[in-house]
Amino acid sequence: MSEDRVAAFTDGVMAIIITILVLNLAPPDSDSIRALFSIEHKLIVYCFSFIVIAVYWNNHHHLFQLVQKVDGNVLWANNFFLFSLTLFPFSASWVSSHLFSLIPQLTYGCVILLADIAYWILLSTLKRAEKMPAAMNELFSSYHKSLISIAMNILALILGLFLNPVLVMGVNSVMILLWIIPEKRIESFLN
C-alpha cells in the first residue's frame, strides 16, 4: 500500500480529533471578560491539547516523507497510534472540568503516555518494514526522542500522583518542547 493513503487517512483522523476538541469547548455563560476568564482553564487545556495533536501531526508528516510503502504491520501500528490520539478529546474535556483533580490529570497523562508509546511502536515498525538508506538506519538507531518522552511521561505521572496533580500537565508541557521542532536529521536527509 502507498504511504500517501496512510498519511491521508491520518490527516483526516487528526482533523476530526481537533474538531472534536474545539466542539467540547463551550462558550462562557455571559458576554463579559469575567465570564471568559471563568473558562480560562478550559481554554488552556484546549490550547495544550491542540498543540500536542499538531506536534504529533508534524512529526508523523516528516516521518512518512521517508516511507515508500507500508505493510500490514505498519498499518496496524499507525491505527494504534491514531486510536491513542482519539482519546484526547475525552481526557481533555474531563481534565479541563477538573484541572486540579488527581484522576482526570492521571487519565490525561496516561493518554499522552499511550500516544508516545504508540508513536514509538510506529517508529519501530517502520524501521523493520522499510529498506532505508544507511544514513536513515543510523538516524533511527540513534533516535531517542520517543524513549525520553516516555520516561518524562512516567515522571509526570509519578510527580502528579505523589506531589501535585497539576504536575502531570506541567511536566508534559515541558516535554512537548522536545517535539515542537521536528527531527532535523530527517529534514537534512530529505533536502
pLDDT tens by residue, 102-131: 999 999 999 999 999 999 999 888 888 766
Band (pLDDT 50/70/90 cuts) for residue 180 is confident
pLDDT of 25 strictly over 70: yes
The average pLDDT across 30-36 equals 92
- What is residue 127's predicted lDDT score, i.e. its pLDDT? 81
User: What pLDDT digit, counting tens, does each position of 91-103 carry?
Assistant: 999 999 999 999 9
Nearest to 105 by CA among 171, 18, 27, 180: 171
pTM exceeding the 0.85 threshold for the entire prediction: yes
Residue 95 cell numbers, joined: 481534565
Question: What is the structure's pLDDT at 62?
Answer: 83
Q: What is the pLDDT of residues 56-66, one digit of tens each?
A: 999 899 888 87
Contact yes or no for 1/70 (Cβ under 8 A): yes
Mean pLDDT of the chain: 89
Domain residue extents for the chain: 3-190
C-alpha distances in Å from residue 85, one per residue of 78, 129, 137, 158 = 11, 23, 27, 22
Rounded Cα distance, 183 and 106, in Å: 28
Is the pLDDT score of 18 beyond 80? yes
pLDDT tens column, 135-157: 566 666 667 888 899 999 999 99
Predicted pLDDT at 130: 64
pLDDT for position 177:
86
pLDDT band at residue 1 under the 50/70/90 scheme? low
With a cut of 60, say whether residue 74 has pLDDT above it.
Answer: yes
